[in-house]
């Protein structure tokens, strides 16, 4: 059986995820899922969050995941240890519950088009963001750009 291993393929262990989920409402899908499906949901949620543009830099250049992180100005080798912040662990669990509940990966909205004679109007029905709002609110303070609609330019 596949297992979430903190720092290797997950930001939170299955035991910690179960504890966090037990404190939440609307987690029936989580509690009725098999241990294997919960583990896969945690690993998938971690992979989705790992692609985000986080502030700072990884603690060690050899670590497999983006977290733990330190500020960009921190000298190499200091601090000796860092932790994964509680909001990142909570966001991982919330996203895993969302994945189990919806049964699909988050995706951007479809583009809507309307033709009015010779004119065409295009718009998005929703804000394009692959994270549910409640997950985005947990991770926003740690992101390089606070929104999916903000670009980060580096020189």
Q: Report yes or no on 61 lying in a domain.
A: yes
- Give every CB contact of residue 70 below 8 A, 6+ residues apart in sequence: 56, 57, 58, 59, 78, 79, 82
Residue 62 within a domain: yes
- Number of domains within the chain: 1
In a domain, 57, yes or no: yes
Q: Is residue 147 part of a domain?
A: no
Tens-digit pLDDT string for the chain (155 aa): 788 889 899 999 999 999 999 998 888 999 999 999 999 999 999 999 999 999 999 988 899 999 999 988 888 777 777 899 999 999 999 999 999 998 766 555 555 677 777 777 766 555 556 789 999 999 999 999 766 555 556 56
In a domain, 117, yes or no: no
Helix (H) or strand (E) holding 121: strand 119-124
- Entry pTM: 0.79
- Classify each residue of 48-79 as buried b or exposed e, where b means 16 or more C-beta atoms within 10 Å of its C-beta: bbbebebebebbeeeeebbbbbbeeeeeeeee
Question: What is the domain range of residue 56?
Answer: 14-107+133-142
Q: Are 55 and 88 in contact (CB under 8 A)?
A: no
Chain centroid offset of residue 23 CA = 19
Residue 154 lies in a domain: no
């Amino acid at each position: 059986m596949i297992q979430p291993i903190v720092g290797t393929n997950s930001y939170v262990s299955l035991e910690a995820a179960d504890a966090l989920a037990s404190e939440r409402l609307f987690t029936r899908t989580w509690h009725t899922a098999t241990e294997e499906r919960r583990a896969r949901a945690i690993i998938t949620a971690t992979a989705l969050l790992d692609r985000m543009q986080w502030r700072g830099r990884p603690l060690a250049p050899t670590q497999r995941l983006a977290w733990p992180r330190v500020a960009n100005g921190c000298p190499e080798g200091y601090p000796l240890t860092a932790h994964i912040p509680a909001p990142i662990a909570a966001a991982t669990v919330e996203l895993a519950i969302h994945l189990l509940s919806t049964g699909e990966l988050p995706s951007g909205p479809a583009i809507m088009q309307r033709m009015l004679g010779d004119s065409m109007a295009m718009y998005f029905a929703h804000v394009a963001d692959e994270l549910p709002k409640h997950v985005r609110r947990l991770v926003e303070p740690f992101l390089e750009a606070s929104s999916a609609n903000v670009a980060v330019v580096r020189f």
